[in-house]
Each structure stands twice: as structure tokens, then as C-alpha cells.
Amino acid sequence: MDSGARRKSRIVVLASGRGTNFQAIIDASRSGGLSGEVVGLISDNPDATALKRAKRHGIPQVVVERKSYPSKREFDLGLAQAVGQFSPDLVVLAGFMRLLGKAFLDEFPEKVVNIHPSLLPAFRGLDAQKQALEYGVRYTGCTVHFVDEGADTGPIIGQRVVPVMPDDTEDTLAARILVEEHSLMVECINAVLASRVRRNGRKVIICGG
């Protein structure tokens, strides 16, 4: 390898379920569409399909279960230790279904991002597609944001808009949003890794292109 070659940024992904966004990140990295490589997957769910995806691609996996720790803080510290062993430049939550506390976030300041299937601040938390349908909105979408201690309350990095059709179900709406999630996540990760993201309080500015 050329001694002058630039080191690829290191990405650690946290996922609890299917891992479709995790797969999109892997695919983008291996096709050259992402300026970083996934060096580890952490899951709180030993049955997560994401773990199988990681194994298939030769990516190290670690399971950190909440029930193994006496308190939320101890769990956060254990999770931080598991993530820290990979020396990440960025931590990406891709369907990770637990709130991260101060004990974790203090270890990775401004290095943790999340993807959420709504146009935040609308429809935070679980079942965002169901919330959108029940509210009767004409448009929803997805959001990538920095993670803080709240539920989907961190500063917004990027968003994509998805129309809500009259005959939509939770599944059909979720499927259309997911397509946008995959590309938005890659776009925002690239911006963060390229140091093009500037924060001023809650306001996030992406410089250049």
C-alpha cells in the first residue's frame, strides 16, 4: 500500500433488528460511495438479523444485552467499551432501539448519528409511520441527526421528504421512506466524515458539496 494513502475513516454501527440501513452502509462503503469503512457492529439483540449480515461480510460483531447490566448507566458504559475497542471516527445508529445516555455519549462527543423515519421534530419515537398515518399528514420522510440524550431530539443534519398516499399502509409507507433513508444516511455520513458539518447550537450547516 502507498505509504501516503489516506486512512479510511472507521465506522461502528449499532443495530437492533433487520439491519437494512446497515446493509446500505456496507454496500456504499464497498462500492466506493462512502468515504469510510464499517469496522464493527454492536447489537443489544442476540437474534438481530443485522448480526448475520455482519458475519456474511466479515465484519466483527459484539452483542451487549441490557439484561447483563444492573443499571442503565452500567449498560451505557459497557456499550461504550464495546464500541471504543474499534476506535471509531463515527458511530451510526441504524435501527438501534435504545436511548443512549450521558455515560455513552460523553465517550464519543459529536460522533454519534441516527436515522429516523419521520421529518423530525414530528413523530418522534416508535411507530413513526403509524403516527404519520393517524395524524393525516400529506408528507413525511426521514431524518439523520446527531444523537443526544432525548428520543430523536438531536440537531438535524439532513432530511428527505416522502409523500403520503391515500391508500398507504404502515408497510407501504415504511418501504418508500426506507429507500430515502438508505441514500440520505450515506450522504450525511460522508458530510460528517469529510468535516463539512458545522454545528451552532441546534443549527447544523453542511459546507461544500
For residues 120 and 143, the answer to whether their CB atoms sit within 8 Å is yes
Q: For the chain, give the mean pLDDT.
A: 94
Told to judge if 116 belongs to the known catalytic residues of this protein, a careful annotator would answer: yes
Equal CATH topology for 9-109 and 115-209: yes
Q: Which grid cell is 120?
A: 423530525
pLDDT tens, position by position, 50-87 = 999 999 999 999 999 999 999 999 999 999 999 999 99
* Cα–Cα distance for residue pair 156/202, rounded to 1 Å: 8
- Ordered alpha helix ranges (H), 32-145: 49-56, 72-84, 102-105, 128-135
Share of the chain above pLDDT 70, in %: 97
Average pLDDT score over residue span 86-109? 96
Q: Could you confirm whether domain 9-109 is CATH 3.40.605.10?
A: no
Domain boundaries, the chain: 9-109, 115-209
Instruction: Choose the catalytic residue: 57, 116, 145, 182.
Output: 116
Query: Does an H or E element contain 27, and which?
Result: helix 20-31
For residues 48 and 21, the answer to whether their CB atoms sit within 8 Å is no
Q: Which CATH class is domain 115-209?
A: alpha beta
Report the interhelical angle of 170-193 vs 20-31 (nearest 10°): 40
Kindly tell me if the per-residue pLDDT of 21 is higher than 80: yes
pLDDT tens, position by position, 112-161 = 999 999 999 999 999 999 999 999 999 999 999 999 999 999 999 999 99
Measured between alpha carbons, how far is residue 197 from residues 35, 65, 145, 182 in Å? 15, 32, 11, 19
- 8 pLDDT tier (thresholds 50, 70, 90): confident
Please, which residues have CB within 8 angstroms of residue 20's CB and are 6 or more apart in sequence? Answer: 95, 178, 182
For residues 37 and 8, the answer to whether their CB atoms sit within 8 Å is yes
